[in-house]
Structure 1
Amino acid sequence: MRAVIQRVTDAKVNVNNQVIGKIGHGMMVLLGVEDKDDQKDCEYIVDKLVNLRIFEDDNQKMNLSIKDIKGEILLVPQFTLCGDCRRGRRPSFSDSAPPNEANALYLMVKEELKNQGLTVETGQFGADMDVSLTNQGPVTLLLDSSKLF
Structure 2
Amino acid sequence: MRALLQRVHNAAVKVDGETIGEIGPGLLILICAMQGDTEAQAEHLATKIAKLRIFKDDAEKMNLSLKNTGGSALIISQFTLAADTSRGNRPGFSTAAPPEEGRALYHHFIGAVAALGIPTAEGAFGADMDVSLTNAGPVTIWLDTAS
Fold in common (TM above 0.5):
yes
For the Cα contact (< 8 Å) 2:13–2:20, is it kept in 1? Answer: yes
Aligned partner of 1:80: which letter?
T
Q: Residue 144 of structure 1 corresponds to which residue in structure 2?
A: 144
Q: Equivalents in 2 of 1:87, 1:37: separation in Å?
A: 24
Cα deviation per residue 1:32-77 (whole Å; 9 max; x = unaligned)?
1111111222022111111000000000000000011100000000
Q: Residue 85 of structure 1 corresponds to which residue in structure 2?
A: 85
Residue 84 of structure 1 aligns to a residue in which SS? Answer: coil
Residue 67 of structure 1 aligns to a residue in which SS? Answer: helix
Structure 1: unaligned runs, 5 residues or longer: none
Q: Residue 54 of structure 2 corresponds to which residue in structure 1?
A: 54
Deviates more, 1:122-131 or 1:34-43: 34-43
Q: Equivalents in 2 of 1:88, 1:54: separation in Å?
A: 36
Residue 124 of structure 2 aligns to a residue in which SS? Answer: coil
Q: Equivalents in 2 of 1:88, 1:64: separation in Å?
A: 41
Q: Equivalents in 2 of 1:63, 1:30: separation in Å?
A: 22
Q: Residue 132 of structure 1 corresponds to which residue in structure 2?
A: 132
Cα deviation per residue 1:77-112 (whole Å; 9 max; x = unaligned)?
001001111111111111111111001000000001
Residue 121 of structure 1 aligns to a residue in which SS? Answer: strand
Q: Equivalents in 1 of 2:17, 2:2: separation in Å?
A: 27
TM-score by length of 1: 0.97
TM-score by length of 2: 0.98
RMSD over aligned Cα, in angstroms?
A: 0.7
Q: Equivalents in 1 of 2:65, 2:144: separation in Å?
A: 19
Structure 2: unaligned runs, 5 residues or longer: none
